Structure 1
């Protein structure tokens, strides 16, 4: 496998920022929480200890993405490890992008009056302008951070 170091660098940066937001919120920070809207915002106003624990855990889970991306920098001699790393990174990139694009679509349909979601105008604006594109951008970074070498393109798992 071959890394695209530019996308890899942006993916690591994207992931650290994303995890950092979770850690900030887990420590009680409220900046940006309203932009999420819905039940997450409501739970953040008077958080239960279990909610805070979940936010901490999500931050650490997000950091696993940094580990995954940095693993691409090693010269793995085992072909199976390279293939697994390749497919996990590609699938994760697709899932991140799909998550953001599907949320973007459903929120847009709600804004057009086709669906009925209970998200206020403030959260709708920030979800469409920032959050969902942020998910999609992360997916792009992950997906393009790794590619097959020319001599490996005909190999299959």
Structure 2
């Protein structure tokens, strides 16, 4: 399981140049499925951050280290109580999802420097596999945390590998 992930955003060329300068790293260049000019470069080498404007994640729980196919990034910023409840539910879902069709990795992470921000990062063979998981009874216990409200903020983005 990946213990640390850093990523950043930029143009395809800028991110490719960064990757070329660091051949000792394992990068995943991704493009947003919602906006084909929005790129992200994930450093999954587990090494210290090299980006000037990173988003840094530390893994709390999960399985897999194969970020390929469709990558789902979900960010939950919750109250202290809701965060604790959400994380417990997410851990149960992750434990039960190891055999989910098409699941390559599911990681529950802290966003470094952002208290109460929990990230659920998952990788799937196809969009259909991700959709089936999101629509499953298993995943449904997290739905309440993805509704925006006065005590919570939710963001999600889905990516495909660009190279």
TM-score, structure 1 normalization: 0.25
Greater radius of gyration (CA): 1
Structure number with higher strand proportion: 2
Greater RCO structure (CA 8 Å; 6+ sep): 1
Structure number with higher helix proportion: 1
